[in-house]
């Protein structure tokens, strides 16, 4: 299946930052059934990441401030050389400015089936979310990058904005081949024993089950405004969660925190999804955006006013 | 708290219940500094070697100070019963082996311990091990016991490694590599278990910082204890990655 200009083995993709720091780790997930894998976000210079704690398990998800540790594009090449191409490889990149991104993209281009531009990391000052919140900047940087590389470009969005569709439209206008939504949602935890914030970096991002409704509304809203494909991320743990995203309008999904419970999650969701489609006698294609078509049916039944009031 | 030597201290927690099984580790949060992985050295204690900022801060804690603890995490040692076992430890690698020896003793095993140390001053836990095992010691400078490393000690003090039903080891990468290669030659890798160390950030198996090549095994979750057969072809003892994920040769 072709999504955002690359051929995926299936619509279940490993999300950036989860077991994506080494070639052999990416190989492991690829062999466990991922339709494609996204690497850890790679920058221009090596970063050690934030002091610990960097990841806390909460009741229904995780709070993290890993701090984009990465070896820089230069040292990441040896990891990319270890990747066995078992499935397509999407390289996630971030940068503080255009010249950093040019360096990274030029050097990694030959290894990538596509790039994912991380404009949305909430935990690192000056890198992701600050720039990812400004539609004008997003449109410009997307256009610039499209000039630098011929590889497909996916732009990853943050939901920590007033209206995510404005950022999505900006990415589309800049020439993005797909948008990915969402990155983690801002959050905080405090140790009741001592009063210290739970994360070394204080500020963190939520992921996992608890953010699924936020991811879904983001994808749902983006679908109404965009022509380019949307890749849904956030809180997917089983095939029904994935189906919800398809029905909201996602052409593919990424799975991150869900790997915690089950490293074989890609194989399992894939076979359960096939079972579901067989039972219903439908194609995946028909699920995509289904909730919008149902909504329209409902509108035709003249219930739309009522619905807006409910909301 | 108990001083084991100049740079090594044991901290007992007030709880008397077991915080995990031998080979499992806790994520120890030194508030305001960092969070680091530390193995259990007793059912309710950890033993720390002072080497950097987090461990030095820990070292200076007072008796009643509190620490943040998460865990236990990881897969510990597989325990066998009523058998002949050999434990091999180098440096701070002895910490998880002491708890292991205690539990192996409870399971009526016949225990031999090999301790590798830089010099006489750095030897620790030898008296604790003597309470339940035969103990042999080597020092690199020859200031105590056999001069050399634990492999030399092993070859000198044990005639035939085949007499052991299980061999457990923990220590620096280089030591583990030399043992892996030796046990491989002796064809007994399936009877060996190693606790290995890599940079652990999340402890939950999702960030990827502790992955070892070529299988992408996660030290924090699939390990830290692995059978020799699982890691003989691995990067262990050859290279590692730092906090940024850059490889460096050992
Ligand atoms: C499973 C496991 C069990 C361990 N058990 C013990 C133990 O029982 N007693 C003990 O004293 N030490 C143990 N360690 C090592 C201990 O975690 C490090 O010594 C400690 O993190 C160093 O922190 P620092 O800030 O003092 O030093 P730093 O100056 O930050 O680092 C010094 C060196 O310690 C290692 N290190 C640093 N951070 C980490 C990390 N997050 N994870 C792993 N290694 C790191 C690196 O090799 C580094 O070069 C264990 C490590 C692992 C992986
Ligand atoms: C530990 C961790 C590290 C992450 N690192 C990155 C990263 O480097 N780049 C990025 O774009 N997103 C990163 N993310 C965000 C995920 O890719 C994903 O967007 C988010 O976690 C929501 O999906 P999930 O609920 O399936 O985890 C990270 C998330 C987690 C939990
Ligand atoms: S420390 Fe995060 S995966 Fe092992």
Asked if pLDDT for residue A115 goes beyond 70, the answer is yes
Ligand 2 atom closest to the Cα of residue A255 is: 26
Number of structural domains (chain B) is: 2
Residue A28 at interface with chain B, using a CB cutoff of 8 Å: yes
Asked if pLDDT for residue A120 goes beyond 70, the answer is no
A300: pLDDT confidence band, cut at 50, 70 and 90? confident
Cα separation, B84 vs B76, in Å, equals: 19
pLDDT the model gives residue A304: 55
Cα separation, B226 vs B33, in Å, equals: 30
pLDDT the model gives residue B61: 87
B153 touches B136 (CB < 8 A)? yes
pLDDT one-digit tens code per residue, B23-37: 999 999 999 999 999
Cα separation, A157 vs A167, in Å, equals: 7
A298: pLDDT confidence band, cut at 50, 70 and 90? confident
Cα separation, A296 vs A250, in Å, equals: 18
Cα separation, A141 vs A146, in Å, equals: 9
Q: Are β-strands B211-212 and B217-218 bridged in parallel, bridged antiparallel, or unpaired?
A: antiparallel
pLDDT the model gives residue B96: 98
HEC string of A143-183?
Answer: HHHHHHCCCCEEEEECCCCCCHHHHHHHHHHHCCCEEEECC
Domain of residue B88, residue span = 84-249
| Distance in Å, alpha carbon of A141 to nearest chain B alpha carbon | 26
Which helix H or strand E contains B156, and what residues bound it? helix B150-157
Question: Domain coordinates of chain A in residue numbers?
Answer: 2-310
Listed residues B26, B51, B73: the one ending a domain: B73
Number of H helices, E strands in chain B: 6, 17
Asked if pLDDT for residue A125 goes beyond 60, the answer is no
Reading the block at residue B220, the tokens are 């924090």
Is the beta carbon of A35 within 6 A of some atom in ligand 2? no
Cα separation, A44 vs A195, in Å, equals: 36
Of all ligands present, the nearest one to the C-alpha of A40 is 2
User: Region A160-187: what's the mean pLDDT?
Assistant: 96
A83 touches A111 (CB < 8 A)? yes
pLDDT the model gives residue A126: 54
Residues B151, B107 share a domain? yes
Residues of B in contact with A259 (CB under 8 A): 205-206
Residues B63, B105 share a domain? no
B78 is a domain residue: no
The domain that holds B156 is classified in CATH as 3.40.50.80
pLDDT the model gives residue A308: 56
Cα separation, B13 vs B250, in Å, equals: 35
B150 is a domain residue: yes
pLDDT the model gives residue A121: 56
Of all ligands present, the nearest one to the C-alpha of B26 is 1
B79 is a domain residue: no
- Which residues of A are catalytic, by number? 121
pLDDT the model gives residue A124: 57
Conformational region of residue A18, where left means phi above 0, alpha means psi within -120 to 50, and beta covers everything else: beta
Query: Looking at domain A2-310, does it have CATH number 3.20.20.70?
Result: yes
The percentage of chain B sitting over the pLDDT mark of 90, rounded to a whole number, equals 91
Residues B233, B135 share a domain? yes
Residues B223, B194 share a domain? yes
CA of A256 to the centre of ligand 2 (A): 6
The domain that holds B34 is classified in CATH as 2.40.30.10
Residues B220, B115 share a domain? yes
User: Region A12-22: what's the mean pLDDT?
Assistant: 98
8 Å CB contact of B243 and A19: no
pLDDT the model gives residue A122: 54
Is the beta carbon of A15 within 6 A of some atom in ligand 2? yes
Residues of B in contact with A56 (CB under 8 A): 70
> Which parts of chain A fold into alpha helices (H)?
23-31, 72-82, 98-108, 129-132, 135-148, 164-174, 212-225, 239-248, 265-280, 284-287, 290-300, 304-310
Residues B119, B230 share a domain? yes
| Distance in Å, alpha carbon of B62 to nearest chain A alpha carbon | 16
Distances (CA, A) of B52 to A47, B59, B174: 19, 10, 21
Q: Are β-strands B84-90 and B166-170 bridged in parallel, bridged antiparallel, or unpaired?
A: parallel
Asked if pLDDT for residue A307 goes beyond 90, the answer is no
Dihedral, CA atoms, A195, A196, A197, A201, nearest 10 degrees? 170
Q: DSSP code of B107?
A: T
The count of CB pairs under 8 A between chains A and B is: 127
Interface of A with B in 196-225 (CB under 8 A): 196, 200
8 Å CB contact of B214 and A82: yes
Is the beta carbon of A123 within 6 A of some atom in ligand 2? no
Reading the block at residue B74, the tokens are 């990881």
A2 touches A82 (CB < 8 A)? no
User: Smallest Cβ distance to A25: which of B211, B243, B244?
Assistant: B211
Q: What is the ipTM of this complex?
A: 0.94
Asked if pLDDT for residue A220 goes beyond 70, the answer is yes
Is the beta carbon of A232 within 6 A of some atom in ligand 2? no
Residue whose C-alpha is closest to residue B142's, from B134, B133, B152: B152
Residue A40 assigned as binding residue: yes
CA of A221 to the centre of ligand 3 (A): 34
Instruction: Tell whether the torsion through CA atoms of B223, B224, B225 and B229 is positive or negative.
Output: positive
Buried b (16+ CB within 10 A) or exposed e, B141-158: eeebbbebbbbebbeebb
CA B201 to chain CA mean position, Å: 18
Dihedrals phi, psi of A237, to nearest 5 degrees? -125, -15
Asked if pLDDT for residue A155 goes beyond 60, the answer is yes
Listed residues B73, B102, B122: the one ending a domain: B73
Dihedrals phi, psi of B16, to nearest 5 degrees? -100, -10
Residues B205, B99 share a domain? yes
B129 is a domain residue: yes
Reading the block at residue A93, the tokens are 């990149």
A305: pLDDT confidence band, cut at 50, 70 and 90? low
Residues B158, B48 share a domain? no
Among A104-118, A216-230, B2-16, B71-85, the least confident range: B2-16
């Amino acid at each position: 299946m072709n999504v955002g200009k690359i051929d995926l083995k299936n619509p279940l993709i490993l999300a950036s930052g989860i077991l994506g720091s080494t070639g052999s780790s990416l190989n492991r997930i690829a062999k466990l059934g991922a339709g494609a894998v996204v690497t850890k976000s790679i920058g221009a210079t090596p970063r050690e990441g934030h002091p610990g704690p960097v990841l806390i398990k909460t009741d229904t998800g995780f709070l993290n401030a890993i701090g984009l540790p990465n070896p820089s594009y230069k040292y990441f090449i040896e990891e990319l050389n270890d990747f066995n191409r078992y499935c397509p490889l999407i390289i996630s990149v971030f940068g503080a400015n255009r010249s950093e991104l040019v360096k990274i993209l030029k050097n990694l281009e030959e290894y990538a089936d596509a790039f994912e531009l991380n404009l949305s990391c909430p935990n690192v000052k000056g890198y992701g979310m600050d720039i990812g919140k400004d539609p004008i900047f997003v449109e410009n940087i997307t256009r610039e990058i499209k000039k630098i590389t011929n590889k497909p470009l996916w732009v990853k969005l943050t939901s920590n904005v007033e209206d995510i569709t404005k950022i999505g439209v900006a990415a589309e206008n800049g020439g993005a081949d797909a948008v990915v939504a969402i990155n983690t949602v801002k959050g905080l935890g405090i140790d009741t024993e001592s009063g210290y914030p739970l994360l070394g970096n204080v500020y963190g991002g939520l992921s996992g089950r608890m953010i699924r409704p936020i991811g879904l509304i983001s994808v749902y809203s983006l679908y109404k405004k965009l022509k380019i494909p949307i890749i849904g991320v956030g809180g997917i743990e089983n095939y029904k969660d994935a189906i919800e995203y398809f029905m909201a309008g996602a052409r593919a999904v990424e799975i991150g925190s869900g790997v915690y419970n089950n490293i074989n999650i890609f194989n399992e969701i894939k076979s359960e999804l096939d079972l579901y489609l067989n039972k219903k006698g439908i194609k995946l294609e028909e699920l995509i955006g289904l909730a919008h078509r149902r909504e329209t049916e409902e509108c035709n039944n003249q219930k739309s006013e009522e619905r807006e009031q409910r909301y | 708290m108990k001083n084991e030597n100049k740079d090594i201290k044991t901290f007992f927690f007030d709880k008397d219940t077991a915080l995990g099984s031998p080979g499992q580790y806790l994520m120890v949060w030194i508030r305001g500094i960092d969070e680091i992985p530390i193995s259990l050295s007793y059912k309710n204690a950890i033993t720390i070697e002072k080497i950097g900022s987090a461990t030095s801060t820990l070292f200076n804690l007072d008796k009643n100070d509190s620490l943040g603890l998460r865990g236990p995490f990881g897969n510990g040692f597989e325990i066998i019963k009523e058998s002949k076992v050999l434990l091999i430890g180098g440096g701070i690698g002895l910490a998880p082996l002491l708890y292991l020896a205690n539990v192996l003793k409870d399971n009526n095993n016949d225990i031999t311990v090999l301790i590798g140390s830089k010099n006489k001053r750095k030897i620790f836990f030898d008296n604790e091990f003597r309470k339940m095992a035969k103990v042999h010691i080597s020092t690199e400078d020859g200031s105590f016991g056999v001069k050399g490393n634990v492999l030399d000690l092993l070859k000198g003090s044990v005639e035939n490694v085949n007499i052991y039903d299980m061999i457990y080891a923990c220590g620096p990468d280089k030591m583990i590599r030399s043992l892996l290669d030796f046990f491989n030659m002796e064809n007994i890798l399936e009877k060996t278990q190693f606790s290995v160390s890599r940079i652990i950030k999340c402890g939950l198996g999702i960030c990827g910082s502790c992955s070892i090549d070529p299988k992408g095994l996660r030290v924090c979750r699939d390990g830290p204890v692995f059978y020799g057969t699982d890691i003989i072809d691995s990067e262990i003892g050859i290279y590692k990655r730092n906090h940024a994920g850059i490889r460096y040769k050992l």
